[in-house]
Structure 1
Amino acid sequence: MRGITGRSWAAGVAAVALAAGLTACTGGPDDDGGGKATSGAKVASASPATGKRACTNGTYTWTGIGQTKRLTGITEPERLGKGGGRLTYRLTRVYTPHQSVEASGPALSFAEVLFSLGKKTGLIQSDAATAAEDDSKDAFADVNRKAPDLNPGGTNAVDGAGRFVQYAYTVEVAGDFRYSCADGTDVLGHAVGWKIDGSGIIDCDHSIDGDPGDTALARSAALLVCDPGSAATKGA
């Protein structure tokens, strides 16, 4: 990206989330609750001494559920003259979404935690009681889900002159949970999943209007790559 390298670029990326940052750990490939921790976070895992796992018929209670739009990719400004044309610059990834769970207590299936969060928020439409019983195998409950390709093919086009920036984003959903078993055992934790992907185009030479949430995201993109003081950065 023009004029943004190394540490300054990383600092800029940290500013594009539209809510407080979320810290979590991703599940292991076998989803046995034993994924390795990162950044010192606790991960639900079986005790080496007892191999204790949580009950399979417990109840989830969710609190503090919120959504965060995060910028995942962006291009440098691409200048087009009168009449516009096709945009050819490729997006560079600035953030990779992950399905993730952190928890303290007996081991839980990460897929079941995410399935519960998905049903609680309406992102998963299923009559199944558990992820194991869900024939649709919704991607929201897939702990090994990969981030979407930012450049899957095809191009966007604009019909006017300007300095255009393409960006991509995802909407993360996060919440705190308590998993309660009949024997009085509780597992406490935090889960993050992502469901919605989107994209947009801004013109550095024009102000950004529209839905407040979308406007804030677009202005965050403008702040990263448009010239300081450009119309698109004003009000950010």
Structure 2
Amino acid sequence: MTEACSSLTFKTLYDPTSNDSGQSFQLSSDKRSSVVNQPGCVCVGKPAPHIELKVVVEDSSHVGRILTRGPHVMLGYWGQISTRASNPSDAGWLDTGDIGQIDDNGNVLLFGRTKGRIKSGGENVYPEELEAVLSQHPGVSGIVVVGLPDPRLTEMVVACIQLKDNWQWADLSYDHPAENKDLSLSSEILQIFCREKNLTGFKIPQSFILWRYPLLSQQLEN
């Protein structure tokens, strides 16, 4: 996620005691979020003085596409005619492909990539945020959140779950009910867990799948 901003220069890591916000950045909304340690995001610090950033918000949240401009941005590819920005106000800005926000201290928070965003019921859902929350459950060893086509919601949020040793899946649709209720998980239990972690309703997966195959992260490790 942070690799997508490799063209940007950040001058400091997040310092909660610092009120220095003298960087040149813009927001597409007059309001800023004061949430810093939000689940599923990475704080990468403040942009360097020669870098401009702005966040283009598309819904009711303060999270949106991160755009940048400045001497660090190339003019274009050799021999390729540059395409005009879809929004005239974005002309001259480079869309980094990252999703994030800027907090009250001027720190940049990255939530994920535009291509990974799930559009469900008109709302934007970021898999990284859900995965960070669900991975906190003691029975979950692996988690991948994806969006599947849905005629009503456009995309339905689905979580593929891998269980830790000695834990069992106890969904009603599952053939083998769990023997130990203290070490059992189900869709309902995980949805309740999401609500307890203050996840907004539309972000909570509508479906949980017990995944028995190696996840992508595990394949890369091997």
Shorter-chain TM range is under 0.3
TM (normalized to structure 1)? 0.22
Under a length normalisation based on structure 2, what TM-score does the superposition of the two structures give? 0.23
Structure number having the greater strand percentage: 2
Structure with the larger RCO, 1 or 2 (CA within 8 Å, 6+ apart): 1
